[in-house]
């Protein structure tokens, strides 16, 4: 299986970063159109992308202000069974988030490339939300191509 890796640094707190990546109300400010779920290990997080799809993740591991792991248990095509890991670290007067999207089918080069490019856009949306109060969740995010 293949993975993508990204990181951002933001002027925020570890707690606010963790809330932004784990709470449904915060996720819809930078990633999905709407989100719902109970942010507890073993529970489901549903992310709705307006007129496109719904992705369902299981909260697999949660260490407040340090680590979140989500496993896609109901998603279309290349999303199915992929794992999102978010690791938080504070250094140099900012909070860093390392994001790993793992278990991507290696033969699906198009999906791997798309995920890698699109995560950059969404993580910059997260950074902007944390630092400036406004993110650009789907469908307002920067598009990679017409029809994206």
Indicate the number of domains in the chain: 1
Could you tell me if residue 138 is inside a domain?
no
Could you tell me if residue 143 is inside a domain?
no
Higher pLDDT, 1 or 52: 52
Between strands 83-91 and 94-104, the pairing is antiparallel
Tokens of 2: 């293949």
C-alpha–C-alpha distance, residues 37 and 15, integer Å? 19
Closest CA to 39 of 13, 17, 64, 14: 64
CA-atom Rg of the chain in angstroms: 14
Task: For residue range 72-127, list pLDDT tens digits in order.
Answer: 999 988 999 999 999 999 999 999 999 999 999 888 899 889 999 999 999 999 99
C-alpha–C-alpha distance, residues 68 and 86, integer Å? 5
Range of the domain at 79: 2-132
Could you tell me if residue 29 is inside a domain?
yes
State percent of the chain over pLDDT 70. Answer: 100
What pLDDT score was predicted for residue 106? 82
CATH of the domain at 68: 3.30.530.20
């Amino acid at each position: 299986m293949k993975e993508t890796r990204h990181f951002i640094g933001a002027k925020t707190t570890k707690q606010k970063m963790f809330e932004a990546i784990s709470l449904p109300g915060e996720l819809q400010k930078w990633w999905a159109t709407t989100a719902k779920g109970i942010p507890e290990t073993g529970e489901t997080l549903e992310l709705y992308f307006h007129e496109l799809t719904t992705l369902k993740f299981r909260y697999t591991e949660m260490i407040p202000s340090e680590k979140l792991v989500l496993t896609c248990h109901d998603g279309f095509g290349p999303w199915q069974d992929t794992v999102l890991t978010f690791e938080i670290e504070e250094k140099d007067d900012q909070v860093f988030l390392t994001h790993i999207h793992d278990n991507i089918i290696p033969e699906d080069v198009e999906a791997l490339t798309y995920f890698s490019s699109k995560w950059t856009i969404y993580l910059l949306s997260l950074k902007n939300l944390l630092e400036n109060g406004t993110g650009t969740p789907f469908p307002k995010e920067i598009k990679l191509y017409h029809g994206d």
